[in-house]
Amino acid sequence: MDRKQLISVVLPVYNEEKNVSLVAEQLLGIAKQISNRYDMEIIFVDDGSRDNSFEELIRLCEQNSMLKALSFSRNFGHQIALTAGFDYAKGDAIICMDSDLQHPPELIPIMLKKWEEGNNIVYTIRKDNSNISFVKRYCDIFFYWLINKVSNTPINRNAADYRLISRIALDEFNKLRERDRFLRGMINWVGFKNTAIEYEVGKRIHGKSSYSMWKLVKFAANAVTSFSGAPLRTSFVAGSAIAGFAFIYGVYLVIQNLFFGAKFIPGWPSLIISVLFLGGVQLISVGILGEYIYRIFNEVKKRPLYIIDKTINVNKQ
């Protein structure tokens, strides 16, 4: 018989002392349920928690060798914690989920089924429900509308950081080492066959969300700037508009004066036109610089140029 496939579950933990044992217990339950076909390793990444999360994790890991834990020297943030977990995961498929029980572990067998059917990424989409506050929901809608307007990689609204990634997709993902990380976008960028499943978000059982409004704004800004050059291009657009307007307005003033005898305060037309025109030209120059900076920015990310999914009759030496 084939060896059993290994499933790695990666969970970032930040101040979740009361939740880790609950989520571990539920995951071990799932591990048992699927144990005839799969082995499981459960990797907690303690992202510099200030409560007793890590002590709690040590206690849990001593009881069961399926449970593993890493701890950061300080808080590096959710996205980096996930990345560390991915680096350490050995599984044939990797599932990441929150450790606050908002992501129902019952979905895991369904994800595995989709994976066995040949999907490299199985992401989850949360159904809108009342467990998410009104403000957060509308901010979310706005944010995803904006990012999809400006980004070249489509990003699903409501896609949670609860997903399965196959080993081949994860190996490619692990090559992306950029510092500002927006995982949802980066995983979409990697590509591969994917599918979605829907679920209802649970309520946080203990503790509170560490994504404050401010953290969410930073998260959104990060997502926009790492996935698009649109902010850098704004000054080019504004500059062209202003310079264009100045030019047309200048022509208009000349015509008014020459053909219709309009009188202006002496010096005003030349002054206003040159101010506007030069302002526009300056903004255009900033925009051109922006274009180059955008290119530098793309280069320094050092992302692979392409990712191969399958090959037929070719061998790479």
Interface residue list for ligand UDP (CB under 6 A): 12-14, 16, 47, 75, 77-78, 81, 98-100, 102, 209-211
Closest separation in Å from C-beta 70 to ligand UDP: 11
Q: DSSP string of 66-134? A: TEEEEE-SS---HHHHHHHHHHH---SEEEE--SSS-S-TTHHHHHHHHHHTT-SEEEEEEEP-TTS-H
Closest separation in Å from C-beta 100 to Mg ion: 4
Nearest by Cα to 176 from 281, 87, 252, 107 = 87
Residue 26 interaction partner, one of ligand UDP, Mg ion, none, beta carbon < 5-8 Å per kind: none
Instruction: Report helix, strand or coil for 37.
Output: coil
Residue 13 interaction partner, one of Mg ion, ligand UDP, none, beta carbon < 5-8 Å per kind: ligand UDP
Asked if 94 and 123 count as a contact pair (C-beta separation under 8 A), the reply is no
Alpha-carbon distance of 181 to 191, in angstroms, equals 16
DSSP state of 305: S
The smaller minimum CB distance to Mg ion, of residues 34 and 216, is found at 216
The smaller minimum CB distance to Mg ion, of residues 11 and 112, is found at 11
Q: Report, in this order, helix, strand and coil percent for the chain, each rounded to 5.
A: 50, 15, 35
The smaller minimum CB distance to Mg ion, of residues 101 and 232, is found at 101
The smaller minimum CB distance to Mg ion, of residues 17 and 100, is found at 100
Residue 108 interaction partner, one of ligand UDP, Mg ion, none, beta carbon < 5-8 Å per kind: none
Residues 61-100 within binding reach of Mg ion (CB under 5 A): 98, 100
Closest separation in Å from C-beta 98 to ligand UDP: 4
Residue 78 interaction partner, one of Mg ion, ligand UDP, none, beta carbon < 5-8 Å per kind: ligand UDP
CA-atom Rg of the chain in angstroms:
26
Nearest by Cα to 164 from 109, 127, 202, 211 = 109
Find the binder of Mg ion among 15, 19, 53, 102 (CB under 5 A).
102
Phi, psi values for residue 233, rounded to 5°: -90, -10
The smaller minimum CB distance to ligand UDP, of residues 4 and 204, is found at 204
Binding site for Mg ion (CB under 5 A): 98, 100, 102
